[in-house]
Amino acid sequence: MTDIALPESLGYSYDQARERLHKALQDAGRPINGAALLAVSKTKPASMIRQAWQLGQREFGENYLQEALDKQAELSDLEDIVWHFIGPLQSNKTRPVAEHFCWVHSIDRLKIAQRLSEQRPEHLSPLNVCLQVNISHEASKSGVMPEEVKALAQAVATLPKLRLRGLMAIPAPADGLVAQRKPFSALHQLLVELQSELPEAPLDTLSMGMSDDLEAAILEGATLVRLGTAIFGARGGV
Ligand SMILES: *Cc1c(COP(=O)(O)O)cnc(C)c1O
């Protein structure tokens, strides 16, 4: 005799994730529409993306190019879906990204940005991009070092088929709200500096916060949180 909502249907976890975001915004004293939800669907089947779309979700994030292209083909009837590429990007894989995505969050060097701009089809609006910052200075992690963000941003802002929207980071895991907030605060500060440096650029996006640190990111001004596990459940180990 149980009437507990089972997570088999996405409805429950999706509502929970949205409520969690709304509560975090309220607790931070921010407007309820102050941050958007990016559903990170890597490793999850197209059928789950379709289910989330039916629940009203429109923005989806993918990490692996071939997997993403396969799912996009399967979901091509969902005309208003917005695809974000959030994974590491090699320079020989930029063309399909330029052709099939609306956003790229993981720009960390000029060469990638130049190729995306050159390869963005004429009939599409400019590709929205965020610079990925290695905000915790981790040796083996992708992302431009904080000291180099300004120079990269200045160069990217001149590329005709890109629109520089902001910054993204995946901080080193930390325990507790105080420790989690520090790198997010640093990323926000970097964005503020870029905004005064590049007043013409549409720098309105702080892509930060995942399932484990959403609240800290919202407290520090995140405008786009990237939730995978909290919406779709744990990802398989293999
Ligand atoms: C996988 C991934 C996420 C989502 O992580 P969860 O912890 O499952 O919410 C967010 N951002 C990036 C860049 C990712 O690769």
What residue owns the CA closest to ligand 1's atom 12? 86
What is the rounded CA–CA span in Å between residue 67 and residue 110? 25
pLDDT tens readout for residues 131-156: 999 999 998 889 999 999 999 999 99
Helix axes 149-156, 110-119, angle to 10 degrees: 20
What residue owns the CA closest to ligand 1's atom 7? 211
37 CB within 6 A, ligand 1: no
What distance in angstroms lies between residue 222's CA and the mean position of ligand 1's atoms? 15
Residue 63 CA, closest ligand 1 atom number? 15
pLDDT at 8: 61
pLDDT at 7: 45
**Taking a C-beta distance cutoff of 8 angstroms, is the pair 157, 117 a contact?**
no
pLDDT at 1: 47
210 CB within 6 A, ligand 1: yes
| Regions in the chain scoring below 50 on pLDDT | 1, 5-7, 238
pLDDT at 3: 54
Q: Please, what are the domains in the chain?
A: 9-232 (3.20.20.10)
pLDDT at 6: 47
